[in-house]
Amino acid sequence: TRLEIEGPPIKVPVNATCEVEEPDDEEVNEYFEELEEEANEELEEIDGSR
């Protein structure tokens, strides 16, 4: 995903990318599992309302 930023481009120092903490795989997986469950629940509600 690209963020559209109005105004002059922001120059990011190259070493800044090294300081970004990568999220734990477990945390990411849990997050996506929760999203999937929520999406499935919404789909069931939509199917049930027909």
| Report field, pTM of the whole predicted structure over 0.75 | no
Name the residue with tokens 């990318």.
Answer: 17
- pLDDT of amino acid 5: 62
For the chain, the DSSP string reads: ------SSPPPPPGGGGGGSPPPPHHHHHHHHHHHHHHHHHHHHHHHHT-
Residue among 18, 24, 46, 5 nearest 38 (CA) = 46
Distance of alpha carbon 39 from alpha carbon 42, whole angstroms: 5
Q: Note the pLDDT tens digit of each residue in 1-50.
A: 566 767 777 676 665 555 556 667 888 889 889 999 999 898 888 888 76
